[in-house]
Structure 1
Amino acid sequence: MTSAASPHLTGGLDTLVISGRVDADRAELTPRGELVHGCADVLGRTLADLPATVTRVDLDMGGVHFMDTAGLQFLDVLADHGRRRFRTVTATNWNGQPRRILELAGLDTTDPLTNLDAAGAVSAATPATPAAPATSAVALERAERLHVLQEEVEQLRQAIASRPVIDQARGILMATHGCTSDEAWHILREASQLSNTKLRDVAAAVTASAEADGPPPSAELCTALRRAVARRRRD
């Protein structure tokens, strides 16, 4: 059995392919590629094709090399399938960047399905017991490192949340100006710098303006985009 995702809005050819086999009452599935927009649909189709005799579904995630927030939807679909069909489901062997995303989302990297709540959403972490006052230089240093790590995690969360709209904006620029994906990325970054606007806000404005009756970007942002496009063409 094999299922694959369709090409992205940006025109890329990155896909998610799920292969596997059924052995008696157990299905072993192996996703390969990226957990991005459309991955939950691919998984849903794969699960729907499983024989009714299957009582356990195990996913080996070792072949997944990238995921964004769509990966959490992928897990929601898997967990919901297990509840509705009364099947045991697992998703193990996470590595690299996907494993890091699970850490940031507060999920168990051994099998994130173990701490999804009944609604399929990420369970809130149990509040920690207040620690005793730091009385040593070592404790103070650890507290400072924790604060720095918390800031880094928040920045990464924002970057993850921004990726879908940035990908859409890149696709729109590629279609509008006939540029490559890398060139569209540089246009967004340069327009952000020229207009002193956050990158995700530039991307959101570009995406909104492409919709029917969507509002055009501000005059300042339009000027910055024109300059960025012109500079890319000269280069």
Structure 2
Amino acid sequence: MSSAAHTSLAGRLDNLTIDVGVEGGRAVLVLRGDLIHGSADTLAGALARLPDGTERVDLDMTGVAFMDTTGLQLLEVLDTYGRRRRIQVTATGWNDQPRRILEMAGLDPDDPLHGPGTHREPVPAAVVMERAEQLDLLRTEVEQLRHAIVTRPVIDQARGVLMAACSCSPDQAWDVLREASQLSNTKLREVAAVVTAEAGGGGGGPLPSPELRQALRTAIERCLN
């Protein structure tokens, strides 16, 4: 039994799928893909189809690679389901970027439903303000990650050009692009497009400004010497 939610980025993010297995009153839901808008509804549908007599629900999150702040709604859906039916529910196996989302939201990534940060007592105003600031930073970071996913092909090409031209590592090539972007106040995607266009002879590609040319030279000297 499985469910799926479609993304809003035309396939650039992975669709969320949920594989459900039930044995001896315990339901194990294995999630794969990305937790974005619509994922909470997908989980709600999967939970609604569980058989009567289910006594425990465990979510396996090891297959989730990306999560934005709307993904936190999925935890609310699971928690509400468990409370209404008075059964145990868990969501474990969080990796990398999703773990950071949980941490910045004040939740324990090893046990976000029952660990620190989930108590129901009134929260001091100072803590509320601090968490609001953290979530604002988190939303900015998530948007940057979304943009990086969309622009990744041209950036990867530019890194490959720099690695071949400068005999540098992937990390060094990334540092050059980022440094040039900061020095010239140019978007990273635009810097990458210029690098790839120059490698192809420049025909039809964006013409770099003198400031960007100088920024690239400076970035190469700083990052590779």
TM-score normalised by the chain length of structure 1: 0.54
Q: What is the alpha-carbon distance in structure 1 between the residues aligned to residue 44 and residue 141 of structure 2?
A: 23
The letter for the 2-side match of 1:4 is A
Superposition deviation, residue 154 in structure 1: 6.9
Q: Render the CA deviation track for 1:69-118: whole Å, top value 9, x for unaligned.
A: 02101111111111122221000111111111111111011110014355
SS at match of 1:112: coil
Superposition deviation, residue 156 in structure 1: 3.9
Change (3 A) 1:126 1:62: farther
Q: What is the alpha-carbon distance in structure 1 between the residues aligned to residue 125 and residue 111 of structure 2?
A: 18
Conserved in 2, the CA contact under 8 Å of 1:68 and 1:160?
Answer: no
Q: What is the alpha-carbon distance in structure 2 between the residues aligned to residue 33 and residue 125 of structure 1?
A: 36
Superposition deviation, residue 125 in structure 1: 8.0
Any stretches of 5+ residues in structure 1 without a counterpart?
129-149, 168-179, 187-192, 197-232
Q: Render the CA deviation track for 1:169-190: whole Å, top value 9, x for unaligned.
A: xxxxxxxxxxx9439x99xxxx
SS at match of 1:78: helix
What is the RMSD computed on CA atoms of the aligned residues? 4.0
Q: Render the CA deviation track for 1:15-69: whole Å, top value 9, x for unaligned.
A: 0111021012110111011111111011011000000110110111111111110
Conserved in 1, the CA contact under 8 Å of 2:105 and 2:134?
Answer: no
Q: What is the alpha-carbon distance in structure 1 between the residues aligned to residue 123 and residue 18 of structure 2?
A: 30
Change (3 A) 1:43 1:125: farther
SS at match of 1:113: coil
Aligned length: 156
Conserved in 2, the CA contact under 8 Å of 1:69 and 1:160?
Answer: no
- Which residue matches 1:102? 102
Any stretches of 5+ residues in structure 2 without a counterpart?
156-181, 186-203, 207-225
Pairing 1:1-235 to 2, within 5 Å after superposition: 1-6=1-6, 8-12=7-11, 14-114=14-114, 115-117=117-119, 124=123, 156-160=137-141, 162=143, 181-182=150-151, 235=206
Superposition deviation, residue 2 in structure 1: 0.6
TM-score normalised by the chain length of structure 2: 0.56
Q: What is the alpha-carbon distance in structure 2 between the residues aligned to residue 78 and residue 61 of structure 1?
A: 13
Q: What is the alpha-carbon distance in structure 2 between the residues aligned to residue 153 and residue 39 of structure 1?
A: 23
